[in-house]
Amino acid sequence: MTHKRLIDLDVKKKKVIVRVDFNVPLQEGRVRDDTRIRAALPTLEYLLREQGSLIVLSHLGRPKGKINDDLRLDPVAQRLSDLLGVEVLKSDQVWGPEVKKMVENLKPGQVCMPENTRFDPGEEENSPELAREWASLADVFVSDAFGTLHRAHASNAGLARYLPSAAGLLVEKELEALGSLRAENVDRPFAAILGGAKVSDKLGVIEALLPRVDLMVLGGGMANTFLAAEGRDMGDSLVEESQIDKARELLKKARESKTEIILPTDLVISPKIDASDEKSISEDAITPGWKAVDIGQKSIDAFREKLQAAGTIFWNGPLGVFEVDDFARGTIEIARALSEFSAWTVIGGGDSVAAVEAAGVADKMGHICTGGGAALKYLEGKELPGLKALEVEE
């Protein structure tokens, strides 16, 4: 099975409903970071060149099926209008008479945006009724919200059931980049850098990548559990006690498959995980009352030395408490190091993207994913409901 691509879909002078992922940060009523909006521009501009009339759907935040005035899409519509150079008509309704009238009056080359899809509880329930309501507005559907493909929602998997559908250009770009990591001819050595708070959040991708990579670098809170599995006293650090046996099992599998796992040797420690003047370096047991909050200089140097020979690098997750400036150094330093290497580097969403942007090196990465959760599921080999819904028989 394969999915239909945008170039295979007849969109000429059609009403096109486009699912995008404009879940962007807002500040004082304005878009603070428009990266995800810019990522969707190639698809939207292609459709406008084809004289399509565009109905753009997106969610914003987690309103949990209720109207939240702080999560309305008006600032997003304004920013999209600025970037496209086309007025984006905005409705305060997710669906209903006002939306229908707005769409009926759309002319070729015009764009409109209904309200936040997640204001309606039927969105996350993948309600057929809601999907049919949206489908009634358009002739065709384009799915370009890569970051939601691992969700079965009414605005992606649901809509694809009722209209001729295709993947947008952003989705194609994401699948091509991530597909290169799953290919047999991946440029080696192949290294994965995995961070974040919990082992349990990354178990699937660790198990999927372990037999495929040559080197796996582990950092962040999840590394604490592996260090505890090796017998290190982690003080009051975040350790998932229920995952220690699993961590031991994964370390054993790595040795058997000759995959090198690199863990931090020195750790920045502090009694608090928020900003603190009180911090130290630990290379042995961590004192009770103190917790690991970042990797130390020896670990930064070791990670850099191991990674510089890689041909391909995938990175998902920070290597410390990145959201606190005092504890972001390890993550930032590794981001800068990657920019100096010749490897094909794929950044897997979330805080890893924030890190390369904060380090000022985003433009030096091979590919930056717009959806960390979807990227991990794809690399695990898991089914993405939003992508499966686009499949057609060959």
List active site positions. 36, 198, 350, 373
Residue identified by tokens 């920045």 is: 268
Q: For residue 42, what are its two tokens?
A: 């190639």
Residues 6 or more apart in contact with residue 11 via CB below 8 angstroms: 47, 50, 52, 140, 142
Q: Are 106 and 15 in contact (CB under 8 A)?
A: yes
State CA 126 to chain mean position distance. 21
Q: CA 175 to CA 181: how far, in whole Å?
A: 10
Percentage helix, strand, coil for the chain under 3-state DSSP, each rounded to 5 = 40, 15, 40
Q: Fill in the DSSP letter of residue 5.
A: B
Which three-class secondary structure string do you get for 274-304?
Answer: CCCCCCEEECCCCCCCCEEEEECHHHHHHHH
Indicate the SS3 state at residue 266. coil
Question: In 109-168, which residue ranges form alpha helices assigned H by DSSP?
Answer: 121-124, 128-135, 159-160
